Structure 1
Amino acid sequence: MTSESRLRDLSAAGLASKLDGDVLWPDDMDYPEASTGYNLASNRRPDLVVMAESTKDVVEAVRFANVNGLAVDVVATGHHGVRPSAHGLLINTSRMNDVHVDGAARRATVGAGARWSDVVPLAADHELRPIHGSSGHVGVVGFTLGGGLSPVLGRKYGWGADHVVALEAVTAAGAVVRASAAENSDLFWALRGGRSSIGIVTSMEIELLPANRFLGGGLFFDGADAERVLAAFAQVTATAPEELTLSVAFLRMPPLPGIPELLAGKFVIHLRVALIRSAADLDVLLAPLRESAPVLVDTVQELSGEGFEHIHNDPVDPAPFSEETAMLTGLTPEVQRALLEEVGPRSTTGLHIVELRHLGGALTRVSPTVRSIAAENASYVLWAVSIGMPGDNAAGIAEARALVGAMGEWSTGTRYLNFAPDDGRPDTTFSAGDWARLQQIKTAVDPENRLRTDEPQPRS
């Protein structure tokens, strides 16, 4: 009897009958989508997928894995890429997308599979908003556990992880625990920035903020003007108020269906803008950027809280891509020259997206309830993306690594977890002290390393 046949028999006898959800096998029609998610470069081939619909389902899946010696992985929307893997049990939480908003308490309780598009409209009904990402299709829990860098609210209010009130999680032993600053505080600290290697979060309670309209959108420039635009970006971000969040992206998008004509097959600079202030303030703040070079398209406008997706305009359809990242200490003329040499108009890079996101403000202040995100010495996050399946994209992956290497002199030495590839170097996303503490917690809660992701592993 093959391993898969044995597992099928065991599942039919002891697992499937206990679930609210379903079990998928490699020959099931829904298996490929359930095991991969948004980033098609994540080539998972688990022995079985549990489509969880409740915390009870997650508990049963983990207990089944323990009895049968299976590694456990977790996916919700699958935006974060992972290395190709085979065997084990994958828990897909995408069906656990319940959202409850308590307007009076300014709190939202979200299931493990909820997306920002599930949460933001419900919060807006109460004139509230969460610390969200750039896309409504990204999962709330994964985004937040990886730090939660908001392109609208982060510089003013901090990381999404800073606004977690409490978590419900299933441990590697199959126990359900509640974690907060007052209860299981080590687990609470570790999960907010350490992700799912520590425990499988099944629901999360987050703080909500007043939902004011804001100004947001983008300025598009010809790639030939990259040097002038980057210099203006450095000038504006050096003195920007916390209410202003900017990022600049070097875009070289392929001429594929669904890519806007403005971008397809061209080198374009996209300045992303969000301001929680008046239009008059915005005109003054953006003047150096608008005057730096001819603006091809200006989409900056007043937006409701639900309009946040119009800033980055992230693609909705799944695609294969690989990424790399670094945190930079500054954007001096020397740093600008180094970056332009790698990805500017005279370079031959094949990288499709290279973005610099401005940090500072609340993002670089230590949280009162410290979480495991190493950003206190960083001023910018560098993010590089190459589109393609890993087997066909060796050159792009190498270019992304080379870019980060070229910027190493001005790097903090740490990486933002949500942008970091699964390359076997999870320690580089944390400070040395936080990494040691995460390993201690991992060893205590999962000594057999049942929950296997690229994040903290038990100490040997």
Structure 2
Amino acid sequence: MRGAVLTPGDQGFDVGCSGFQTAYRHRPSVLVRVAAAEDVAAAVRYAADRELPLAVQATGHGLTVPTDGGVLIDTSALTGATVDPATRTARVAAGTRVGDVVDAATRYGLAPLNGSSTDVGTVGYVLGGGLGLLAREFGYAADHVRSFDVVTPDGRTRRVTPDTEPELFWALRGGGGTLAVVTAMEIGLVAVSNLYGGELVFDTARVPHLLDVYREWIRVLPRELTSSVSLLSYPDVPAVPVALRGRHVTHVRIAFHGDPRKGAELVAPLRAAGPTLSDSVAVMPYTECGSIYHDPPWPHAYLGTNHMLREFGPQVVQAVREAAHPDAPGRQVIDIRHLGGALTDPPDVPNAVGHRDAHCLVRVLSPLADTSEDQARAAHRKLEDALAPWRVGRFLNFVYGGHPDGGTEGTAHDVWEPADRLRLARLKARLDPADLLRCTLTPSAPTAVTR
């Protein structure tokens, strides 16, 4: 081993087991802080020989099922992104954060298909599908993967491409991390160096009709504009900017790839909807793309899930308003992401990302600093029931908040299309019959179907 092998009580063990999500954590018997791909293979073989549960963590943003008493592989030291501008690709090591890939790519006028936060691990984001800032123009990040270097649960290293391992290549893109440990991957980049982007912030009480404006506005948008709207209540504390303290606020986030003048024309109906508390929508270099959502960079406790919907009609708007209301039980941040466009297109090489017919995604997140887990789960179930008539499923990247007993927020049955879930389950049974890899939702097969 080139890296460190730690057990409870060793210096660095507790730090290595912690991550961005602080409400739940892994409690392994062995922590392996890998320094090379060979370390990953050794750790997997160790777990396989002893039939120990195995989990992988880079940043700890998407922790869903904590692993107790097993082996935790910490890939955070495996970093680096090497860009080939001629092929518009980047080779990304397992622990590399999105921001590092952005920095490497933008030197050549290129960009990855990253999401709202530049602090997350790139590999985990892509394995879950990857819903990016420019998703309506370019599709899911998983659609643009060229290859993976992995270690399968039998301890073997494999190079996974559409030609060498077509079934595993299909599954890894959108199937999560339950089939193999990724040590590196090659992804496609896009020719984007600047955006017309930012956010419009409204006092919800002064512009109560904004969701209705947004619902009509997204009906006619070109693919080049990807947007979202979120509602949340800010506490009246000094840490919050003065303009937002104690307010119930609606944020509209904009990312437009095209002529800024055209972008300003497209955004004009939102600006005309009412007075803003702030307006940061302007031309920006892609290196500043993280400022559009300015997701919090500090670790904290949260519980969240999401619902992919076939439409965003008046009844959905009303359900969202009620769930996000300041007086609603269980503090919730509601985020509606506009889908469609290239997200509906089948990728050149098929993958496991499903529900491509969804029109929007409603993401609900409950910070647990001032809300109990029971309150949060009850509030989430209430919103899920209200949205049930329009739900088509969930998106893997935004299902998080695990139980120590291995349960998750919701179940895996609606993350994938039924046929894809069965296909993933069969591959899981073949590659990992002992169910060693348990760090993400596992695609269980229907009991009525025999393998």
What TM-score bracket applies, with the shorter chain setting the length?
over 0.9
| AA of the residue aligned to 2:421 | W
| AA of the residue aligned to 1:324 | T
| AA of the residue aligned to 2:190 | L
Residues 1:452 and 1:137: Cα distance change in structure 2 (over 3 Å): same
After superposition, the CA RMSD in angstroms is: 1.9
Residues 1:401 and 1:185: Cα distance change in structure 2 (over 3 Å): same
Q: 1:418 aligns with which of 397, 404, 409?
A: 397
Percent identity of paired positions between Structure 1 and Structure 2 = 35
Q: What TM-score does the superposition give when structure 1 sets the normalisation length?
A: 0.91
What is the SS of the residue equivalent to 1:394? helix
Q: What TM-score does the superposition give when structure 2 sets the normalisation length?
A: 0.93
| Correspondence 1:451 to 2:437 | yes
Query: By how many angstroms is 1:84 displaced?
Result: 4.5
Residues 1:42 and 1:255: Cα distance change in structure 2 (over 3 Å): farther
| Correspondence 1:437 to 2:417 | no
Q: 1:277 aligns with which of 258, 265, 269?
A: 258
Q: 1:62 aligns with which of 44, 50, 55?
A: 44
Residue of structure 1 equivalent to 2:292: 311
| AA of the residue aligned to 1:135 | S
Q: Which deviates the most, 277-286 or 323-332?
A: 277-286
| AA of the residue aligned to 2:131 | L
| Correspondence 1:108 to 2:108 | no
| Correspondence 1:146 to 2:159 | no
| AA of the residue aligned to 1:139 | G
Kindly report which structure 2 residues correspond to 1:253-332, keeping only aligned pairs within 5 A, or say none: 253-255=234-236, 258-332=239-313
Distance in 2 (CA, whole Å) between partners of 1:122 and 1:255 is 39
Distance in 2 (CA, whole Å) between partners of 1:391 and 1:351 is 6
Residues 1:274 and 1:424: Cα distance change in structure 2 (over 3 Å): closer
Query: By how many angstroms is 1:113 displaced?
Result: 0.2
Q: 2:334 aligns with which of 321, 334, 354?
A: 354
What is the SS of the residue equivalent to 1:129? coil
Higher helix share: 1
What is the SS of the residue equivalent to 2:303? strand
Kindly report which structure 2 residues correspond to 1:241-252, keeping only aligned pairs within 5 A, or say none: 241-252=222-233
Q: How many residues align?
A: 439
Q: Which runs of 5+ in 2 are unaligned?
A: 401-407
| AA of the residue aligned to 2:311 | G
| AA of the residue aligned to 2:418 | A
Residues 1:403 and 1:83: Cα distance change in structure 2 (over 3 Å): same
| AA of the residue aligned to 2:273 | S
Q: 2:61 aligns with which of 79, 96, 111?
A: 79
Residues 1:265 and 1:39: Cα distance change in structure 2 (over 3 Å): farther
CA contact (8 A) 2:149 2:184 kept: yes
| Correspondence 1:127 to 2:109 | yes
| Correspondence 1:88 to 2:74 | no
Query: By how many angstroms is 1:424 displaced?
Result: 6.2
| Correspondence 1:408 to 2:394 | no
Distance in 1 (CA, whole Å) between partners of 2:441 and 2:263 is 40
Distance in 2 (CA, whole Å) between partners of 1:243 and 1:391 is 38
Kindly report which structure 2 residues correspond to 1:158-307, keeping only aligned pairs within 5 A, or say none: 158-225=139-206, 227-255=208-236, 258-307=239-288
| AA of the residue aligned to 2:415 | T
CA contact (8 A) 1:40 1:389 kept: no
